[in-house]
Amino acid sequence: MMNMTKLAGALVVSAAFLSQTSMISAQETEPGFKSLFNGKDLSGWAGRPNHWSVEDGVITGITTKENPAKGNNFLIAKDGDQNLIVDDFELRYSYKFTGEWGNSGVQYRSKDRGNFVVNGYQADFEVGTTYSGILYEEGGRGILCQRGQKVVIKDDNGKHKIEVVGKVGDSKEIQAGINVNGWNDYVVIAKGNHLQQWINGKQTIDVTDEQEAKAAKSGILALQLHAGPPMKVQFKNIRIKSLK
């Protein structure tokens, strides 16, 4: 019979080894990525406390009939006391809606307009079947790329002109791979004026923004809670890698 003290010691060593191996495996799988959420509270984020919280270990945005969103509002990523500024990066996260309606998105290279209002590029997603995966510019040029498109945005005497130059996928097929009330994995890559997005492994847009006066090269990162009917959106596994 094995000595119980030795057995306990062996189990501790084994557990420590497995834990260390898991950490190494995670680092090898996603080298260079930094987590933006601790899984416990909203440290490193700032937003309206009546709408944003951590529920079941994930970031949660909720509006109700009694507590509606008065206009779109955002949970902003922080770097200490300042807003986190991103430029060239790859962002990975998962999102989930609960309910029959919901509209949200992740802002990147955006501007803080005060009172947790944000303008700029948005990786869009919704409960509906039209907008998940598009590139939208909140408070700016509107829809810049429909799902499945490859576009170049050019300047036309101060206005923007969108030229569709190809396809990255079929919009219906992309939508068919999205979990309506389940978790979905989203990837955003921004490098220079080239912007790309994926949902559940399927590329949704490819944009080259050549309108110099409007194309943002850097800015803040934020999560959207949309005005409208009551909704619930959640985020987890938010991590980012610099491509500079």
Enumerate the β-bridge partners of residue 108. Answer: 121
Cβ 110 vs Cβ 138: under 8 Å? yes
Cβ 217 vs Cβ 62: under 8 Å? no
Global confidence as pTM: 0.88
- Four-way CATH pick for 34-242: 1.10.3720.10, 2.102.10.10, 2.60.120.560, 3.40.50.2300: 2.60.120.560
Enumerate the β-bridge partners of residue 194. Answer: 191, 208
Residue pointed to by tokens 């907008």: 131
Residues 6+ apart with CB under 8 A from 237: 37, 92, 93, 94
The alpha-helical segments, DSSP class H, found in the chain are 4-29, 171-176
Q: Closest by alpha carbon to 139, among 88, 105, 164, 165?
A: 105
Written as tens digits, the pLDDT of the chain (244 aa) is: 445 444 444 444 344 444 343 344 444 579 999 999 999 999 999 999 999 999 999 999 999 999 999 999 999 999 999 999 999 999 999 999 999 999 999 999 999 999 999 999 999 999 999 999 999 999 999 999 999 999 999 999 999 999 999 999 999 999 999 999 999 999 999 999 999 999 999 999 999 999 999 999 999 999 999 999 999 999 999 999 999 9
Burial status of residue 33 (CB atoms within 10 A of its CB: 0-12, 13-18, 19 or more):
middle
